[in-house]
Amino acid sequence: MTIVIKNAEEIEAMRRACRLASEVLDMLTPHVRAGVTTKEIDRLAHDYMVNVQGGVPATLNYQPPGYPPYPASLCTSLNDVVCHGIPDERPLKNGDILNIDVTIIKDGFHGDNSRMFVIGEGSIAARRLVQITYEAMWKGIVKVRPGARLGDIGHAIQTYAENAGFSIVREYCGHGVGRRFHEEPQVLHYGRPGTLEELQPGMIFTIEPMINAGRRDIKEDRKGNRPYDGWTIVTRDRSLSAQWEHTVLVTDSGYEVLTLSAGSPPPPDFVTPALAAS
């Protein structure tokens, strides 16, 4: 499968879809607190995407080969869940960390992003994992420019996370996105600089590192006699895992983060405003 280079019209459509995806997370933020269930968060997001934004939740009934249909309008990955956590009736508790991953389809284009939330105060270790993961994502983003390589992105993320004492999940990666939910290229969050595909203006892809507090090994979530739901992935050692995700456009001079909105967390201090807007 070839990498799709978006034209000006497609880029503008992606800007709209990605902004809407970020605004879903803005809307959800005040509701993400102790006592609220992830099922309720999913209900709020579904109503907002469909009835307010006029979009389609991309994950609802999404079924890639070998998977059952995904049963919710977003993913909620809690504590040791690495990715693809399914919303349920368990209330959030003080000290939990939660990733909410939202993808909306608007006018045929996919906007894809996720954020971490710390419920209540959170432990120092949990808050550090969440912060380092956010900074690692941005370490990858600032490598984006024409002529750079995908390996530059992965190397920057891996080096930053591992120097902080954390590990990078290798089984899942970022991806091209546009008219299809998952397109080429695959964007690894580890690697060697100067390797893999060369970046060109008009490429759009996600950068979404999954970083574990313990070892990088993962497994399907099977607890007791409960059957595997077909989606939920956890850390093998049950350590905490965090993830952030932005969708990024390669511009003529650098990059543009498409999944930004009024409530987006500000970039880290090492990201200059001029660079972030290039």
**Residue 155 annotated as lining a ligand binding site:** no
**Residue 208 annotated as lining a ligand binding site:** yes
**Residue 182 annotated as lining a ligand binding site:** yes
Q: How far apart are the first and last CA of the chain?
A: 29
**Residue 46 annotated as lining a ligand binding site:** no
**In 10 A of CB 63, how many CB atoms?**
10
Q: How many angstroms separate the Cα of 20 from the Cα of each of 7, 70, 148?
A: 20, 21, 29
**Residue 269 annotated as lining a ligand binding site:** no
Which residue type does 197 have?
Answer: E
Rounded to whole angstroms, the Cα distance separating 278 from 275 reads: 5
Rounded to whole angstroms, the Cα distance separating 76 from 228 reads: 16
- Give the distance between the most distant pair of CA atoms in the chain: 54
**Residue 175 annotated as lining a ligand binding site:** yes
Tokens of 173: 């990666």
Best CA proximity match to 9, nearest among 141, 113, 108, 144: 108
Question: Binding-site residues for a divalent metal cation, please?
Answer: 101, 112, 175, 208, 245
Annotated binding site: 84, 101, 112, 175, 182, 208, 245
Give the residue numbers of the binding site for substrate. Answer: 84, 182
